[in-house]
Amino acid sequence: MLNNLTTPKSDFDVIVVGAGHAGVEACLASSRLGQATLMITSNVDRIAYMSCNPSIGGLAKGHMVREIDVLGGEMGLAADATCIQFKRLNSGRGPAVRGTRVQNDKHRYSAHIKAKLSQQPNLTVMQGEVKSLILDRGICLGVNLQDGSQIFAKATVITTGTFMNGVMHFGLQQISGGRIGDQATVGLSDQLREFGFSVQRLKTGTPARLHKDSIDWSKTEPQYGDEKIYPFSFRSPLKFQLPQVACYLSRTTEETHEIIRKNLDKSPMYCGIIEGIGPRYCPSIEDKVMRFADRASHQTFLEPEGLDTDLIYLQGISTSLPEEVQLEFLRTIPGLENVKVVRYGYAVEYDFIEPTQIWHRLETRPIRQLFLAGQINGTSGYEEAAAQGLVAGVNAAHSLLGKAEFILDRDKAYIGVLIDDLVTKGTREPYRMFTSRAEHRLVLREDNTMDRLGDLSIALGLVGSEAKTKLEHLKSRRTSLLESLQTEKLFPNAETQEKLLKIPTTVLNKSISFEELLRRSEVSCSDLKGLNFSIDEDPNVSEPVEIEVKYAGYIKRQNELIEQAKKSEELPLAPTLNYGEIKGLSNEEVEKLNRIKPRTLGQAQRISGVNPSATQAIMIYLKSQQRTDRSQTENQSEFCEGRGRRSQSSVAIGTVVPGAGC
């Protein structure tokens, strides 16, 4: 139990509703910025609970975890501390599309986060159910609880995940709730809808959990992790903190697919009972069988949920079919012929707020001092939720501290891409981050996160003094390594040539710097050790420097394109701008621009349905307005000068002129 769990008797600066991954980062950010913060959750035993896959990271998702970490968040540290299998995905491909993914002990992960919350100053955690918001003239003043009590705060962050009007589907049976064992949040979305918000439905799902002793592992293929860890957090030790385990691969069969096809009339998705749209990139097994009918099988990974549990997570087989159908088709998968199901899969349908109704700072447009983060904004995944939670927590605190809004640009962080996509384009399905969503992904790599965000993090004050010192030290070591590579020379003597041939790489015709040698595709930093070059083997130092050297030309070009794009990206658009006054815009463009109210011309260009001709029309309009304003200013200046001359002559003859001088 959290040692700061209590029933609050006083008001707070910030209230965070929800204790999932978004809620955790929101309340930690707010409290670390000195704000008295209250976390309200319906179940204190499920804080930071991994409702679905017990893993963190993946392509683009791992990038966000590192960004959260550099900005002072907790997800990376928790993932490193509870890692039971580590993998670098796409390790043989370019650095822009490599990604870290770890399998976690889900119970230890939750325990790690609960321990961190219990030690955090300025933070109180309580168990309770929020029924509605306290609103007054468009400002959120706090929350009403189910028991009738009220708690007031200067800012409120809602992170309700899949719980807003959540309904679980087990075949044709429906039960209210956001996940097994936890009740739904009822009332909040209805209140927001009444206030004018567009509230929609989404759907997600989870697979069965299996008992490990009932699986014939000899019929599966073991999948091992990497032998070395490159932790998510720059604050974590460079070694595994828990024993590492294997996951196992199996595949569905044609018999599996036939059973599913015969029972689609029992699937709530195919009977029209579920109205919400599910995640396109993580479909249920029913969807896979129907959408990819030409495939004879689909792979599934059997993943342990922890070191001290018998539960196995069946990745890739989420389903809402009835229990008897699930058991029937599961036993057609190699290795699962005699499987015992501990918990069957089910689907969850829940409310979300159309995210074009929030600002980049994640404050809602209709209600001031109300911030939204996580699946309530239409996203899918722990990492996307945590990223939003951190941004919402910082901005909730900044709104009280009188500080500028905290917004990350698309060329600075995947977090910036995520939020800009949501606010600008909205979503009709659970949004999932991919590297392909970032137009500047070569400069948004995992390895250079602290270069991109380190100084900003220190300026924000989200990292403690020890982390700040380590961050600065790592950046200094990177600089030193790069300088050594540029200044130290390699000479074409017999010993050097022999060592180069062993790498193998071409021998030298003349002396070159180690930086020039490292630019060769076949040469790595580790090869330089054999050439008597002192290399810093910390992957937080050597890897980013090596990538910077090898891809210097491409990175330079990418930065040039970013600078060019900033000319339109940074052109501000006033929130009061009436797009109906601009000639050349279609009715659809006017409607979308007036609804979304883009902050910059660059954001306007990314709105779906706003054509390049429209942005040209906006630029022409703004230039004409600037000329008009300039003309008015010049006329006013001439008028003031004239009045000034008249007032001087009047004063000279002793006449008082009312309003002399402008």
Q: How confident is the model at residue 646 (pLDDT cuts 50, 70, 90)?
A: very low
Q: Which tens digit of pLDDT belongs to each residue from 188-197?
A: 999 999 999 9
Q: Which tens digit of pLDDT belongs to each residue from 89-116?
A: 998 888 888 999 999 999 999 999 999 9
Give dist(CA 585, CA 587) in Å, integer. Answer: 7
Q: Which tens digit of pLDDT belongs to each residue from 17-40?
A: 999 999 999 999 999 999 999 999
Matching CATH topology for 209-346 and 571-646? no
pLDDT at 273: 87
Which range among 2-6, 347-351, 439-443 shows the weakest confidence by mean pLDDT?
Answer: 2-6
Q: Where are the domains of the chain?
A: 12-204+350-455, 209-346, 462-561, 571-646
Give dist(CA 252, CA 33) in Å, integer. Answer: 50
**Mean pLDDT of the region 386-393:** 98
pLDDT at 650: 33
- Non-local CB neighbours of 10 within 8 Å, separated by 6+ positions: none
Which pair of tokens denotes residue 314? 């069946």
pLDDT at 279: 82
Q: Is the pLDDT of residue 57 over 70?
A: yes
pLDDT at 625: 80
pLDDT at 622: 85
pLDDT at 658: 33
Q: Which of 380, 481, 429, 490 is nearest to 58 (CA)?
A: 380
Give dist(CA 206, CA 316) in Å, integer. Answer: 9
pLDDT at 649: 35
| Contact between 258 and 268 (Cβ < 8 Å) | no
Neighbours of 75 (CB within 10 A): 30
Rg of the chain over Cα atoms, rounded to whole angstroms, equals 29
pLDDT at 519: 95
Identify any residues that bridge with 153 across adjacent strands, giving them in sequence order: 12
pLDDT at 10: 54
Sheet strand arrangement including 247-251: 221-223, 247-251, 299-304, 311-315, 209-211, 341-343
Q: Is the pLDDT of residue 567 over 80?
A: no
pLDDT at 565: 78
DSSP codes of every residue in 151-212: EEEEEEEE--TT-BT-EEEETTEEEESSBTTB--B-SHHHHHHHTT--EEEEEEEE--EEEG
Q: Which tens digit of pLDDT belongs to each residue from 307-344?
A: 999 999 999 999 999 999 999 999 999 999 999 999 99
Q: Which tens digit of pLDDT belongs to each residue from 581-601?
A: 999 899 999 999 999 999 998
pLDDT at 624: 83
Query: How remote is the C-alpha of 644 from its chain's centroid?
Result: 59
**In a 3-state reduction of DSSP, which class is residue 512?**
strand
Residue with more model confidence, 92 or 4: 92
Q: How confident is the model at residue 510 (pLDDT cuts 50, 70, 90)?
A: very high
pLDDT at 82: 98
Q: How confident is the model at residue 629 (pLDDT cuts 50, 70, 90)?
A: low
Q: Is the pLDDT of residue 206 over 70?
A: yes
Q: Which of 642, 89, 39 is nearest to 373 (CA)?
A: 39
**In a 3-state reduction of DSSP, which class is residue 219?**
helix
Q: How confident is the model at residue 631 (pLDDT cuts 50, 70, 90)?
A: low
Residue 229 burial by Cβ neighbours in a 10 Å radius (0-12, 13-18, 19+): buried
pLDDT at 632: 59
pLDDT at 420: 95
Superfamily grouping for domain 12-204+350-455: FAD/NAD(P)-binding domain (3.50.50.60)
Mean pLDDT over the full length of the chain:
90
Q: Is the pLDDT of residue 642 over 60?
A: no
Q: What is the pTM (predicted TM-score) of this model?
A: 0.89
**Mean pLDDT of the region 109-124:** 97
The CATH number of 209-346 is 2.40.30.260
Q: What is the DSSP letter of 398?
A: H
pLDDT at 3: 46
Q: How confident is the model at residue 183 (pLDDT cuts 50, 70, 90)?
A: confident
Q: Is the pLDDT of residue 443 over 90?
A: yes
Distances (CA, A) of 525 to 91, 233, 354, 539: 16, 22, 47, 10
What is the CATH architecture of 571-646?
Orthogonal Bundle (1.10)
pLDDT at 633: 59
The CATH number of 462-561 is 1.10.10.1800
Q: Which tens digit of pLDDT belongs to each residue from 533-562?
A: 999 989 999 999 999 999 999 999 888 888
Query: How remote is the C-alpha of 483 from its chain's centroid?
Result: 34
pLDDT at 637: 57
